[in-house]
């Protein structure tokens, strides 16, 4: 690792922080304003998006068909939405994505969805979007502080119970081969705190229909973390088993990265955390998985965002820059979304990596 002068930090900062690494000391706000500005200018000079222009709602560009579907429902055209969901066919990953896009829109304004349900009673796709919208509405309440008081927590729980009923209704209406209504219920299980046995029963229903569905696996590894209903050991065990059983390019090597990210702790510097041999090995395996993925696979964005973060902490700046370049402009993904100002956290790590890589070139 290069010295303090090369990192642009005041020696006094490192002295106060003792054994913490230089990168740890230099998290957003930890350096001088001039140094931060210089880093941003250098990143901008090689084509990276300025911090103030980063999209915090998406992890990658919105597709033309998604934009068209959202435009249609904004004008009340539910038939376009129904056709868009149907167009995914039995590509369950894509069906889940399209349902999620529409559910987010319905959670904000569901008049078009109500019209769809009224026009086609019992429609499986409408029931699925309604269930997912109910789950998202509950979690939106929690994100606004639903667990701060007993009354707010009860409201969150009541909304999840409503969402649970909607998910069960969607399951009854669905094609028996469709795993997506059960994937939707995963958000209910995490929020309500399904006991492990009950969650495993839900998981069995999903995997009986789609054994290696990435969206389901990412939701499951979150359930098993200490942050929610398990522990780091349970989350990493689940993630490792799933990743080891996958074929290259299926992107399930993302799962151990999520488990290691969820195990971040203020008690240990992040550079020490991410430089552990087992984490470096997981990052290398994920890079190989990414290289084997099909061109244009939109699921790679989530993996690239986490890889950029971990490569940054591993001092692998040139490799980090490659990942930042692939996703630049969009910060609506882990790890950035865990921060109050995701665009600032992203820009800091990106701009540091750009400058460090240039120094080493």
pTM summary value:
0.90
Q: Which residue stretches of 144-276 are H helix?
A: 150-173, 180-192, 196-209, 214-223, 232-244, 254-262, 270-274
Per-residue pLDDT at 3: 34
Cβ-count burial of 64 within 10 angstroms (0-12 exposed, 13-18 middle, 19+ buried)?
A: exposed
Question: 3-state DSSP call for residue 55?
Answer: strand
Mean pLDDT by 10 residues, the chain (361 residues): 34 33 59 66 83 97 97 97 98 98 96 98 97 96 72 90 98 98 98 98 98 98 97 98 97 98 80 95 98 97 98 97 98 95 96 93 76
Is residue 56 within 8 A of residue 343, CB to CB? The reply is yes
Per-residue pLDDT at 27: 62
Per-residue pLDDT at 4: 33
Q: Report residue 153 as tokens.
A: 């927590």
| CA dist., res. 27 & res. 15, Å (int) | 16
Per-residue pLDDT at 269: 85
Cβ-count burial of 237 within 10 angstroms (0-12 exposed, 13-18 middle, 19+ buried)?
A: middle
Per-residue pLDDT at 296: 94
Per-residue pLDDT at 317: 97
Is residue 215 within 8 A of residue 96, CB to CB? The reply is yes
First-to-last CA distance in the chain? 14
Per-residue pLDDT at 14: 30
Per-residue pLDDT at 22: 59
Q: Which residues of 25-63 are buried (b: 16+ CB within 10 A; e: fewer)?
A: bbeeebbeeebbeebbeebeeeebbebeebeeeebbeee
């Amino acid at each position: 690792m290069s010295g303090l002068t090369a990192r642009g930090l005041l020696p006094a900062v490192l002295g106060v922080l003792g054994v913490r690494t230089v990168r740890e000391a230099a998290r957003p706000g930890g350096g001088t304003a001039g140094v931060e500005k210089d880093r941003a200018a250098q990143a901008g000079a090689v084509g990276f998006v300025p911090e103030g222009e980063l999209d915090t709602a998406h992890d990658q560009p919105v597709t033309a068909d998604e934009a068209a579907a959202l435009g249609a429902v904004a004008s009340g055209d539910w038939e376009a939405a129904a056709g868009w969901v149907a167009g995914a066919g039995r590509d369950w990953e894509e069906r889940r994505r399209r349902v999620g896009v529409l559910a987010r829109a319905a959670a904000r304004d569901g008049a078009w969805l109500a019209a769809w349900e009224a026009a086609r009673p019992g429609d499986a796709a409408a029931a699925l979007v309604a269930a997912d919208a109910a789950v998202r509405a509950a979690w939106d309440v929690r994100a606004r502080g639903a667990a701060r008081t007993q009354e707010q927590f009860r409201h969150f729980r009541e909304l999840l119970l409503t969402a649970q009923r909607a998910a069960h209704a969607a399951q009854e209406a669905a094609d028996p081969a469709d795993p997506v209504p059960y994937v939707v219920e995963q958000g209910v299980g995490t929020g309500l705190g399904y006991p492990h046995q009950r969650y495993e029963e839900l998981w069995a229903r999903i995997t009986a229909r789609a054994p290696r569905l990435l969206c389901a696996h990412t939701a499951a590894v979150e359930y098993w973390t200490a942050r929610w209903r398990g522990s780091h050991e349970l989350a990493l065990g689940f993630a490792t088993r799933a990743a080891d059983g996958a074929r290259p390019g299926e992107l399930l090597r993302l799962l151990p990265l999520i488990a290691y990210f969820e195990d971040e702790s203020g008690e240990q510097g992040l550079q020490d955390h991410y430089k552990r041999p087992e984490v470096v090995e997981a990052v290398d395996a994920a890079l190989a998985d990414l290289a084997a993925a099909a061109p244009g696979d939109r699921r790679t964005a989530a993996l690239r965002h986490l890889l950029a973060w971990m490569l940054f902490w591993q001092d692998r700046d040139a490799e980090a820059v490659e990942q930042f370049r692939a996703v630049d402009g969009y910060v609506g993904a882990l790890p950035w979304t865990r921060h109050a100002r995701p665009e600032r956290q992203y820009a800091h790590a990106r701009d540091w990596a750009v400058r460090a890589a240039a120094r080493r070139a």
